[in-house]
A and B are shown apart, each in its own frame.
Chain A
Amino acid sequence: MSSTAAVNLHNPAVFQAGIPHEVFAEMRATPGLTWSPEHDGTRGFWSVTRYDDLVTVSRDMSTYSSGVGHIQIYDIDEDALEARASMIDMDPPVHTRLRRIISSAFTPRHVKKYKGAIQARVGACLDELEAAGGGNWVDVVAKPIPIGVICDLMGVPEQDHNYLIGLTDHLVAGTGAEPLEPTAYGNTTELRLLPFNSPAAWAMSQYATELADVRRAAPEDDLITKLIEAEIDGERLATEEFANFFRLMIFAGNETTRSSMAHLALYLEQFPDAFAAAQLDRSLIPALTDEVIRYSSAILYFRRTVTAPTELSGTALDVGDKVVMWYCSANFDEAYFPDPYAFRADRPTAPPHAAFGGGGAHFCLGASLARLEIAELISDVLNRDLSFASIGQPEFVESNFVNGIEHLEVTL
């Protein structure tokens, strides 16, 4: 039992105006999984669009592997996979050992310690926006907060934050950043071996390696120091492993939260009732925060690869099949989120939305941190009673992987 997708999900343009909800609603209503045929040399794949199927795939890590094949739709060569691997592209038990090096820094209890620093960053950005009477919400608010927070945690000095913002801008295909020359930043590595095939990934590895040298000489209480001192089975991380870990943290901690914060401005305008409710009853802020995260579904999908013949929702799957978990569909599954397109400050938080993944070992490491950052932004926006005199048309990042906004002009 299966059907073929009505639109070409390989094509980023399908996501140009945001999540194509009608497309996914139809796929959810169709029994079995939906097949997207080969496109431009990229093998076809199965789409998982319903919440319960997504959770099944996400938690069955031995049948649906992150380590075999790529975790994005397009395939890459074995040596390229190897060269760029970080824990997100690995299966337990190796994954587990890597994640444990730093996971204690991201538990809700630890994350609370960063609250003051996050409030200060949020406050400074909103001050700047207010002083200017508005501006590009993405550049002034949504970008600097998450990169600032994750850089602080990692131990990246403040003066380098903008350099890293510039590099991450190049890592998502289709962002408005100017295309780079293959040799940009002095890159000498073959592009196909680099994450996102970008010299910016190489530059980030270089940067990480240099910073690691500085920390080896003078350790600090930060995650870079933790990573270089960690031992797994008596061995330290190799230079490449460390650099890949660093890049994962900067990218994952940055792009995603930025997208949700960018969408937040749109929601303020589109769904004023939800924010008015939270203004009156601040205890709604955690639920409202999760609603922003669900509704924006910053990462649209991750892919898994089938390792043993199996069946899902009546569709037979074979070894090597690509299975794509569309978080942006599961989060609007009528069976789990009644009236899914309503944006509510009081939506129940169980069952949890799938924007941080459907559970299992890869569940978003930064979930508590992201929630805190977004909750603090909402709180401060409410404290200031911030409202927009006008808001421009959002320019979406053209990507079928992230639900980003490039530019969103607001006036106060």
Chain B
Amino acid sequence: MADETSDGVELVGVQVNEDTCIGAGQCEMLEEDTFYVDDDTVIAGVIGTGMLPRDRAQKVVDTCPSRAITIVEPAAEEEQ
């Protein structure tokens, strides 16, 4: 699986827990190519490849006020 960019930065997946998301959109503010808050449900979803460099993914995780975002570790993804 391509979990690195061409210059060797480690990429990880991100996911949103729809039950705890409060639609504050802090994720969309930081990474608008990866998160999108739906107009009707006001819940964030992952768009595009859903992959981010680990440091940026961690920053979104830390910023989300309801701890609704988690990093999907590449290994865990393969097991599914």
Which of A109, A350, A367 is B24 in contact with, Cβ under 8 Å? A367
Tell me, rounded to whole Å, the shortest Cβ–Cβ distance linking B38 to chain A.
8
Residues of A within 8 A of B65 (CB): 352, 356-357, 359-360, 363
Q: Bound state CA distance, A104 and B32, in angstroms?
A: 16
The range of chain A's interface size is: 20 to 34
Q: Bound state CA distance, A352 and B40, in angstroms?
A: 27
B13 at the interface (CB under 8 A from A): no
Contact call B23/A104, Cβ cutoff below 8 A: yes
Q: Mark B34-59, 1 if CB is under 8 A from A, else 0.
A: 00010110100000000000000011
Known A-B contacts A350-B59, A351-B62, A352-B62; the reply to A109 vs B25 at CB < 8 A is yes
Contact call B37/A109, Cβ cutoff below 8 A: yes
Contact call B67/A107, Cβ cutoff below 8 A: no
Contact call A104/B42, Cβ cutoff below 8 A: yes
Contact call B62/A109, Cβ cutoff below 8 A: no
Q: Mark B9-34, 1 if CB is under 8 A from A, else 0.
A: 00000000000001111101100100
Contact call A368/B25, Cβ cutoff below 8 A: yes
Tell me, rounded to whole Å, the shortest Cβ–Cβ distance linking B31 to chain A.
11
Which of B29, B42, B67 is A59 in contact with, Cβ under 8 Å? B67
Q: How many residues of B contact A (CB 8 A)?
A: 20
Contact call B29/A108, Cβ cutoff below 8 A: yes
Tell me, rounded to whole Å, the shortest Cβ–Cβ distance linking A287 to chain B.
12
Contacts of A71-124 to chain B: CB distance below 8 A: 96, 99-100, 103-104, 106-109
Known A-B contacts A59-B67, A359-B67, A368-B29; the reply to A103 vs B62 at CB < 8 A is no
Residues of A within 8 A of B29 (CB): 108, 368
Nearest-CB residue, chain A, relative to B37:
A107
Q: Bound state CA distance, A103 and B24, in angstroms?
A: 8
A25 at the interface (CB under 8 A from B): no
Contact call B22/A363, Cβ cutoff below 8 A: yes
Residues of A within 8 A of B39 (CB): 104
Which 3 pairs across A and B sit closest by C-beta, in order of nearness?
A107-B25, A359-B65, A363-B65
Given A356-B65, A365-B24, 9 new contacts (CB under 8 A)? A59-B67, A100-B42, A104-B37, A104-B40, A104-B42, A107-B28, A349-B63, A359-B64, A359-B67
Q: What residues of chain B have their CB less than 8 Å away from a CB belonging to chain A? A: 22-26, 28-29, 32, 37, 39-40, 42, 58-59, 62-67
Could you jot down 18 A-B contacts, CB within 8 Å?
A: A96-B22, A100-B23, A100-B42, A103-B22, A104-B37, A104-B40, A104-B42, A108-B29, A350-B59, A351-B63, A352-B26, A352-B63, A359-B64, A359-B67, A360-B65, A363-B65, A365-B24, A367-B26
